[in-house]
Amino acid sequence: MASHRRPKQPSRTRVTVLTATAAAAVALTSQTAQADPKPTKTEVKAKVDKLYHEAEAATEKYNGAKERQETLKEEVDNLQDKVARGQGELNDLRGELGSVASAQYRTGGIDPSMQLFLSADPDNFLDKAGALDQLSGKQAEALQKVKAKQRTLAQQRTEATDKLDDLEDVRKELGDKKQKFQGKLAEAQKLLNTLTAAERAKMQEKEQRASRAAGDRVELGNEAPASQRGAAALSAAATQQGKPYVSGATGPNSYDCSGLTQWAYAQAGVSITRTTFTQHADGTKIGKSELKPGDLVFFNNLAHVGLYAGNNQILHAPKPGAVVRYESMDYMGTFQFGVRI
């Protein structure tokens, strides 16, 4: 009779080793399948440029909120000054009203007919009676002034309270906008950090070459400006070449895109608003074929603005890490329209 032996069971140590090896292999395979390939330098640059455009749009919105904050703060201060002055005027009116009441009280509360009966000099009494009537008229007038001033003060206090609420909302919005553009810049830097030191150096060298080339003589053609103020603004901006782009900066040491255009037109004696989202309404919109030197040119859903310089070139503050320079419109992204100031 054949004997039936039970198959030999693998040792616990062997099972553990095999299990761990299999798990590691599965994990490695899974990681390999899930891991994204490292982006190329070209892909990183494209993503970084996109983030810079998004950061610039957020910066312009931040600038707009900051401008509203400054306007509201000025309005609140003016209203609070008016309320303080109005309270002083109300106190003076109340003082006048008190003087009138005191004078009336001193005439006595005796019935006029009894005063006439008791008076040794009827003519003198009639003079006093006329003065009493005049005094009552002044009292009524003083009362009306007090009531009107109280209404005005109540309106001003309500308006000041509303403005303070608006100011608080804008301050919160300002914080959100700042956080957004700073986040975009941080994300761009994180992407740049995925490159090797050599790749980053090569990108930086290319950017520096672009900035140096912008400092060289640029062929702008001989297009005539549409106006003297446009020519003056462009000429002023040209003196700022080489100065760095800084988010929120309006000169004279650094600029963002709309900060440069606002500064340039201020040198020409023209006041324009602060951001791309408002500057587009500061003049007359024109098409690309109508552009003349000194016109404002807008790109990428109003996220960027520069000054048209002629021969398809613009003069602008490009992006973080760059300086004020001339650049072909072909590299600016989506053209929106021009604006003639």
Tokens of 49: 């440029």
The reply to whether 280 belongs to the active site is no
Neighbours of 195 (CB within 10 A): 19
The reply to whether 53 belongs to the active site is no
Q: How far apart are CA 123 and CA 142, in angstroms?
A: 29
Catalytic-role residue among 4, 53, 257, 280: 257
Tokens of 153: 């003060």
Q: How far apart are CA 187 and CA 49, in angstroms?
A: 11
Catalytic-role residue among 4, 53, 280, 304: 304
Q: How far apart are CA 41 and CA 31, in angstroms?
A: 23
The reply to whether 304 belongs to the active site is yes
The dihedrals phi and psi of 227, each to the nearest 5 degrees, come to: -155, 160
For the chain, the distance separating the N- and C-terminal CA atoms, rounded to the nearest angstrom, is 112
List alpha helices for 107-218, DSSP H: 112-118, 122-192, 197-215
Tokens of 317: 């503050």
Tokens of 148: 């009107």
Catalytic-role residue among 4, 53, 280, 316: 316
Please name the residues in contact with 203: beta carbons below 8 A apart, sequence gap of 6 or more. 41, 45, 192, 195
Q: CA triplet 80, 82, 86: central angle to 5 degrees?
A: 120
Annotated active-site positions, please? 257, 304, 316
